[in-house]
Amino acid sequence: MSETAEHTGHHIDVKQFHPRAQAAIQNPKIRKNFRSAMDGLMAKRKAAFEGWDLETLRDLGANIRMRALANLPDLLEQLEAKLTENGVKVHWAVDGDEACRIVTAICKARDAKTVIKGKSMVSEEMELNHYLEHEGIEALESDLGEYIVQLADETPSHIIMPAIHKNTGEISQLLHDKTGTDLSNDVEYLTASARLQLREKFMNADVGVSGVNFAVAETGTLCLVENEGNGRMTTTVPKCHIAVTGIEKVVPTLEDVTGLLALLTRSATGQHITTYFNMISGPRKAEELDGPEEVHLVLVDNGRSSIYQDDELLDTLRCIRCGACMNHCPVYTRVGGHTYGTTYPGPIGKILMPHLIGLDEGRHLPTASSLCGACGEVCPVKIPIPDLLVRLRQESVDGDKLHPAKVRGHGAKRGTMEAMIWKGWAWMHASPGFYRFGTGAASKLRALQPASAGAWTDYRTAPKLAAKTLHQRMKERGQ
């Protein structure tokens, strides 16, 4: 994640996961807003896949993504060549800061004062809005959810539904305070006023910035999935369109897109397809009457090429950002997206973010899971999220031995006390005499066993040692 001092105004301390989780659990509004939204999304997803051979479809999804990753460097070059041929300018950025600098430079070259933005998680990762603001360029989100979150000076709490943590009343109050609309619980009215406010902005913006869902190497096509039409506005109305994407989003062929699209929208919101599937292959031609005169693509690495080095971790790069793992996660549903303090929350965030920010900062993330397996079961591209969580947990306490130097911050969670206890435990189990003595003594002294064992017993009853060891009982039974 880009971390220059100037534009981390909203940086949340990832390490504070536990206090935030406590606060969220005690906030009935948060719990209710997420609970009802996620219940609905789970039901809709299920219905949307009815009549499909879902397992085979998920295999196809996983294979499409894997095939793309296996050829990643070649595909990126092919994509660049095709796009260039189509008249699109391609840029490469090793990290979020460089990507921000590239976007700013394009804006400045056009003397741009205002940028209108479609939804893009990579730009959240880059903290692009703050960067642009710092450079004196206004950046306005145009996706309704993102617009609401931006007005509230917050970050998205879900990758598909950014304002899911707010209810209608809160949104109405916010729009009233910030834009002067009347207070109302009528969602149609609130939406219509946002439409009016944003239409003005679309007409006057100098540059449009969008994300990319799939980038097709074969034809040099950037695909965007959306319902609102703001994405089409953003990429059509301003004279200049800048798309930003992670380097992993490339796929070899247009055919690949049909498989992924079928999985993406059904997994995300339970829609068979979104309202708009927008395929952009170049700027406006001389004779065309609308569309941007200039189209740019910024390919952002930002830690992805280091994930790419490791065979297991690489699976996270298959992610198509559908959000299904969040929708089905019992932990996410209770604590909400902001608790994580990371760009990507929920299960995918828990395995992706430790790569991007290191385990010393993100060490609590992999522990925020019940390992129930729901995330892995719903993932349309079959990312083994639970396995990766277990691996990252191991790495965060004992990393160097298991996987040398793959994720930064190895062993960040290793406590001296814990390490000593485990060492003693291992030693005792390896010496039969001490083992018998130890277990015998422990059962005799069971009355002295403490009733609390740290955080574990905050919400659980501490297990009690049995009065007799198994060995003793077997002996008594004469066996």
Contacts with ligand SF4, residue ranges (CB under 6 A)? 267, 319-325, 347-348, 378-381, 383
Q: Which is nearer to ligand SF4, 181 or 245 (CB)?
A: 245
Q: Nearest 5 degrees, angle CA 214-CA 388-CA 215?
A: 5
Q: Which is nearer to another protein, 303 or 347 (CB)?
A: 303
Q: Which is nearer to ligand SF4, 83 or 257 (CB)?
A: 257
- The interface partner of residue 356, options being another protein, ligand SF4, none and the CB cut-off 5 to 8 Å by kind, is none
Write down the least CB distance from residue 442 to another protein, Å: 45
Write down the least CB distance from residue 162 to ligand SF4, Å: 14
Q: Which is nearer to another protein, 211 or 283 (CB)?
A: 283
CA torsion, ordered 274, 280, 281, 286, to nearest 10 deg = 140
The token duo for 303 is 């830690």
Write down the least CB distance from residue 15 to another protein, Å: 28
CA 311 – CA 91 distance, rounded (Å): 27
The token duo for 48 is 């949307």
The DSSP symbol for 448 reads: G
CB of 298 closer than 8 Å to CB of 245: yes
DSSP string, 176-202: HHHH-PPP---HHHHHHHHHHHHHHHH
- The interface partner of residue 274, options being another protein, ligand SF4, none and the CB cut-off 5 to 8 Å by kind, is another protein
Residue 54: burial class (beta carbons within 10 Å; 0-12, 13-18, 19+): middle
Q: Which is nearer to another protein, 90 or 378 (CB)?
A: 90
CB of 33 closer than 8 Å to CB of 166: yes
DSSP string, 382-397: ---HHHHHHHHHHHHH
- The interface partner of residue 321, options being another protein, ligand SF4, none and the CB cut-off 5 to 8 Å by kind, is ligand SF4
Write down the least CB distance from residue 435 to another protein, Å: 41
CB of 190 closer than 8 Å to CB of 180: no
- The interface partner of residue 380, options being ligand SF4, another protein, none and the CB cut-off 5 to 8 Å by kind, is ligand SF4
Write down the least CB distance from residue 246 to another protein, Å: 11
Phi and psi (nearest 5°) for 46? Answer: -60, -45
Q: Which is nearer to another protein, 61 or 362 (CB)?
A: 61
**Cα dihedral sign for 213, 203, 90, 122?**
negative
- The interface partner of residue 381, options being another protein, ligand SF4, none and the CB cut-off 5 to 8 Å by kind, is ligand SF4
Q: Which amino acid is at 198?
A: L
- The interface partner of residue 322, options being another protein, ligand SF4, none and the CB cut-off 5 to 8 Å by kind, is ligand SF4
- The interface partner of residue 161, options being ligand SF4, another protein, none and the CB cut-off 5 to 8 Å by kind, is another protein
- The interface partner of residue 324, options being another protein, ligand SF4, none and the CB cut-off 5 to 8 Å by kind, is ligand SF4
Write down the least CB distance from residue 159 to ligand SF4, Å: 7
Write down the least CB distance from residue 421 to another protein, Å: 34
Q: Which amino acid is at 457?
A: T
Q: Which is nearer to another protein, 174 or 365 (CB)?
A: 174
Q: Which is nearer to another protein, 176 or 436 (CB)?
A: 176
Q: Which amino acid is at 372?
A: C
Write down the least CB distance from residue 115 to another protein, Å: 17
CA 151 – CA 478 distance, rounded (Å): 75
